[in-house]
DNA sequence: CACTTGACCTGTCCGC
DNA sequence: TGCGGACAGGTCAAGT
């Protein structure tokens, strides 16, 4: 499910909803989703106050005043859904994708102060959350290897192209999906940005003219920013911190639009497999 | 070393 | 309606 724009949307919601609240109790339905030892949870999570919510790549960090942080990766089907006291009343929003919580995909429940609850749902159990000292976050293997944030101002086209060249013999799609090259891109925004730059996903990096790669840099930033503005993409699972859908899918140009016309040239969009992933392209606009 | 493939899980959709 | 197989937005380990 969530790529950079979806995780960022969840973060923006959580910043509004949970900062200042304290964790009162925690329950987890399996060891994999939340592997921390009970003793650590008791000492550094229970009673701690939430002081910040950050994002790096597709990872969320909930900072606590115990000098520990909850590190959360939603992987494919994870959700973090907040319910305040008032959410349980009769005026419950109908636009919510999910109903009564907890449901059968609920893995962890964080009971917060003021009657609020944060649910970590994850149908496929690929996601996880872990409690670690805030000062050690940067030492997690993933963070040591992960590439730059594409929306940072110092992520120039020069930096982008330089990093693409580290894998110059691979197909471009698998390279922009590689989190060590740049952070945050997943299958949706890979397809969307490659279409925008008129690049075929299986082109080898080294065979793509530099100006095209520059276009790809522009398109990636454009698509990620637009998707944040639209609250992310809801295909099946993704919801924001209030349990509501994102609307980028109705702006998508190729993703999940197989058999429909290309918005640029009218050709029929096709779905194939590149880098082991479902891949959407316009056969006329994206020639190799 | 660079690069590709399969595994991790559960649910859904599609064809027979 | 039931059943088997393919597939689903991410990442890592193990393979070539």
Give the distance, in angstroms, between residue A170 CA and nucleotide C5 C1': 30
Closest to A5 in 3D by CA, of A230, A158, A284, A155: A230
CA A259, A260, A261 angle in degrees (round to 5)? Answer: 125
CA distance A111 to A62: 15
The percentage of residues in chain A with a pLDDT greater than 70, rounded to a whole number, is 96
> What's the gap between Cα A115 and its chain centre?
28
pLDDT category, A94, cuts 50, 70, 90? very low
pLDDT category, A236, cuts 50, 70, 90? confident
- Is A104 catalytic? The answer is no
The arithmetic mean of pLDDT across residues A34-52, rounded, is 96
The answer to whether A34 and A110 are in contact (CB under 8 A) is no
Confidence at residue A96, expressed as pLDDT on a 0 to 100 scale: 65
Return the residue matching tokens 């016309």.
A261
Mean pLDDT is highest, among A16-20, A270-274, A277-281, for A16-20
Return the residue matching tokens 């997690």.
A140
CA A208, A228, A237 angle in degrees (round to 5)? Answer: 95
The answer to whether A185 and A3 are in contact (CB under 8 A) is yes
pTM: 0.95
Neighbours of A250 (CB within 10 A): 9
The percentage of residues in chain A with a pLDDT greater than 90, rounded to a whole number, is 87
Contacts of A42 (CB under 8 A, 6+ apart): none
Tokens of A254: 């190729």
Confidence at residue A43, expressed as pLDDT on a 0 to 100 scale: 97
**Ramachandran region, residue A231 (left: φ > 0; alpha: ψ -120 to 50; beta: rest):** left
Candidates A271, A277, A283, A284; catalytic one: A277
Reply yes or no on whether the pLDDT at A97 is more than 80.
no
The arithmetic mean of pLDDT across residues A62-78, rounded, is 96
The arithmetic mean of pLDDT across residues A184-212, rounded, is 94
Reply yes or no on whether the pLDDT at A268 is more than 50.
yes
Which nucleotides in chain C have some atom under 7 angstroms from a protein Cβ?
Answer: 7-12
- HSE toward the beta carbon, residue A201, CA cutoff 13 A: 28
pLDDT category, A90, cuts 50, 70, 90? very low
Tokens of A138: 């940067």
Reply yes or no on whether the pLDDT at A93 is more than 60.
no
Contacts of A86 (CB under 8 A, 6+ apart): none
The arithmetic mean of pLDDT across residues A44-70, rounded, is 97
Reply yes or no on whether the pLDDT at A91 is more than 50.
no
Reply yes or no on whether the pLDDT at A19 is more than 60.
yes
Give the distance, in angstroms, between residue A135 CA and nucleotide B13 C1': 45
The arithmetic mean of pLDDT across residues A219-243, rounded, is 94
CA distance A166 to A157: 15
Query: Which nucleotide shows the minimum CA-to-C1' distance to residue A235?
Result: C9
Give the distance, in angstroms, between residue A217 CA and nucleotide B4 C1': 25
CB proximity A143–strand C (7 Å threshold):
no
Reply yes or no on whether the pLDDT at A40 is more than 60.
yes
CB proximity A71–strand C (7 Å threshold):
no
Confidence at residue A99, expressed as pLDDT on a 0 to 100 scale: 82
Give the distance, in angstroms, between residue A234 CA and nucleotide B10 C1': 18
């Amino acid at each position: 499910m969530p790529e950079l724009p979806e995780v960022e949307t969840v973060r923006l919601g959580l910043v509004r909803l949970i900062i200042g609240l304290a964790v009162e109790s925690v329950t987890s339905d399996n060891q994999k989703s939340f592997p921390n030892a009970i003793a650590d949870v008791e000492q550094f999570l229970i009673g701690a106050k939430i002081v910040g919510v950050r994002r790096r790549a597709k990872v969320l960090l909930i900072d606590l005043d115990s000098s520990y942080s909850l590190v959360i990766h939603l992987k494919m089907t994870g959700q973090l859904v907040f319910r305040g006291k008032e959410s349980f009343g009769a005026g419950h929003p109908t636009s919510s994708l999910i109903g009564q919580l907890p449901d059968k995909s609920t893995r962890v429940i964080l009971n917060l102060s003021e009657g609020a609850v944060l649910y970590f749902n994850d149908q496929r159990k690929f996601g996880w959350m872990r409690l670690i000292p805030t000062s050690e976050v940067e030492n997690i293997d993933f963070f040591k290897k992960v590439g730059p944030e594409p929306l940072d101002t110092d992520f120039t086209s020069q930096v982008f192209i330089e990093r693409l060249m580290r894998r110059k013999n691979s197909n471009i799609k698998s390279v922009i999906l590689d989190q060590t090259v740049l952070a945050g891109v997943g299958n949706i925004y890979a397809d969307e940005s490659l279409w925008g730059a008129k690049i075929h996903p299986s082109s080898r990096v080294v065979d793509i003219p530099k100006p095209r790669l520059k276009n790809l840099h522009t398109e990636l930033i454009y698509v990620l920013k637009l998707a944040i503005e639209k609250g992310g993409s809801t295909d099946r699972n993704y919801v924001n911190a209030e349990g509501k859908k994102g609307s980028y899918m109705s702006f998508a140009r190729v993703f999940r639009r197989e058999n429909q016309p290309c918005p640029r040239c009218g050709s029929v969009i096709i779905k194939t497999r590149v880098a082991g992933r479902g891949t959407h392209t316009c056969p006329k606009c994206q020639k190799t």
